[in-house]
């Protein structure tokens, strides 16, 4: 099939920053794109050929949107899977598939899947409601501390809380959840795996993630991870196994823990371009967004090697600021070597909302990390 400057139509469910960055590459290749998002102000609106406003969880909305395109992909997991499954039976190519997404959408199902397929993961218990978990804690079936995770609709630190005492249950929703054993770990790592429908598969180098202590959000993504080569090989091998078992097509970001004794445990996965791969836009031969496109269109995959060390700094809304966004001091970081800001186009800021990122590329990873700290301390995302 001819994708370039043709009648071919690619549909994207979700119009946020991931979609916006994907559209940079569809425009580079002159591929027609249709986007569906619930917000009239979605960042994707300006970059797509056609933009549709609608509810991603509504069966009819997703189904009717999907009927207009040849290949359908998504940049957010919270979409109507039944509509995707029906579209597949009618000949629309959906990548990753409805079956893959259904497994990944629910963190409880995801964890059960790892156990069933002998993929190393932290011990956990699955509960249909918070009240059941609270009862289990009272009966000493679950011991404190542990990590509470909502099985559905969590993102950017929402839907995750460390429970150290009974008081920590306050304010949590009474929903299906898991209680996961707290793992003392050295590092949080991630590996991006890409696979085509015909079975070509590639992994990106292992990245290391430094988290904000309160927001449970990634502050820095560092590539390559500052870890031993044998640990990196093990992480890539486990990521390949996860990809093979999910049988996904497109991009799969596999997040992992490196334990104190250098074991690798899978935390969770995302079947789409991911925060841990943003560094690749500047630092890799093939960005994760171009690679996702190549994969879902069954084109040859690009080189995943890095040209230089890359560090990504998340730009998130400052605490105490909600409303029309203002970016302070961006011009000050533009004078620094190898620094590229990406602004997502969200008009409204709120505390810890992802509003953009900055990539720092340098031959020396220590120098890149130093500049990243300067960037982090210079830019402020505030409200008007």
Binding residues: 107, 149, 180-183, 188, 267-268
What is the DSSP code string of 252-282?
EEEEEEEETTS-EEEEEEESS--GGGTTHHH
Question: Can you name the residues that pair with 356 across neighbouring β-strands?
Answer: 315, 343
Tokens read off for 220 = 């820095």
How far apart CA 200 and CA 316 sit, in angstroms, is: 36
How far apart CA 303 and CA 282 sit, in angstroms, is: 13
Q: At which residue do the structure tokens 């995943």 appear? A: 304
Phi, psi dihedrals of residue 370, rounded to the nearest 5°: -65, -45
Q: Which has the closest alpha carbon to 220: 340, 16, 357?
A: 357
Which uninterrupted H or E stretch holds 310?
A: strand 309-316
Burial (0-12, 13-18, 19+ Cβ within 10 Å), 233 = exposed
Question: Cβ distance 144 to 164 under 8 Å?
Answer: yes
Tokens read off for 173 = 């929703």
Q: What share of the chain is helix, strand, coil (3-state, %, to 5)?
A: 30, 30, 40
How far apart CA 56 and CA 108 sit, in angstroms, is: 22
Question: Cβ distance 284 to 294 under 8 Å?
Answer: no
Q: Binding site membership for ATP: which residues?
A: 107, 149, 180-183, 188, 267-268
Question: Can you name the residues that pair with 313 across neighbouring β-strands?
Answer: 220, 358
Tokens read off for 237 = 């091998």
Radius of gyration of the chain measured on its C-alpha atoms: 20
Q: What is the DSSP secondary structure assignment for residue 156, as one 8-state letter?
A: T
Give the torsion sign (CA, 101, 122, 316, 214): positive
Strands, DSSP E only, in 4-104?
Answer: 9-13, 32-37, 50-53, 71-74, 93-94
């Amino acid at each position: 099939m001819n994708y370039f400057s043709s009648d071919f139509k690619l549909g994207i469910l979700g119009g946020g920053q991931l979609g916006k960055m994907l559209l940079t590459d569809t425009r580079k290749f002159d591929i027609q794109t249709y986007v569906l998002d619930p917000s009239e102000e979605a960042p994707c609106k300006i970059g797509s050929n056609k933009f549709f406003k609608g509810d991603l969880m509504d069966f009819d909305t997703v189904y009717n949107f999907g009927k207009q395109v040849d290949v359908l992909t998504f940049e957010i997991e919270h979409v109507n899977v039944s509509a995707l499954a029906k579209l597949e039976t009618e000949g629309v190519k959906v990548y990753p598939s409805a079956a893959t997404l259904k497994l990944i959408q629910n963190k409880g199902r995801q964890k059960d899947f790892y156990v069933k397929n002998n993929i190393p993961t932290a011990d956990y218990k699955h509960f249909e409601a918070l009240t059941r978990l609270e009862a289990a804690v009272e009966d000493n079936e679950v011991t404190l501390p542990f990590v509470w995770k909502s099985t559905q609709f969590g993102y950017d630190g929402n839907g995750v809380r460390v429970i150290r005492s009974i008081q920590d249950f306050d304010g949590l929703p009474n929903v299906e959840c898991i209680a996961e054993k707290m793992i003392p770990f050295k590092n949080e790592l991630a590996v991006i795996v890409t696979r085509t429908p015909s079975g070509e598969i590639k992994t990106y180098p292992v990245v290391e993630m430094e988290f904000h202590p309160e927001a449970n959000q990634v502050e820095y993504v560092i590539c390559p991870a500052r870890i031993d080569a044998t640990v990196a090989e093990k992480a890539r091998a486990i990521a390949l196994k996860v990809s093979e078992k999910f049988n996904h097509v497109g991009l799969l970001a596999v997040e992992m823990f490196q334990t104190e004794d250098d074991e690798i445990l899978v935390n969770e996965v995302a079947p789409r371009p991911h925060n841990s791969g943003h560094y690749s836009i500047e630092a890799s031969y093939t960005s994760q967004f171009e690679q996702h496109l190549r994969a879902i269109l069954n084109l040859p995959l690009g080189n995943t090697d890095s040209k230089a060390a890359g560090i990504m700094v998340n730009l998130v809304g400052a605490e105490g600021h909600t409303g029309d966004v203002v970016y302070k001091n961006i011009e000050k970081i533009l004078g620094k070597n190898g620094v590229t800001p990406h602004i997502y186009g969200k008009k409204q800021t709120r505390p810890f909302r992802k509003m953009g990122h900055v990539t720092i590329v340098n031959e020396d990873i220590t120098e890149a990390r130093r500049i990243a700290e300067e960037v982090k301390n210079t830019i402020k995302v505030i409200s008007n």
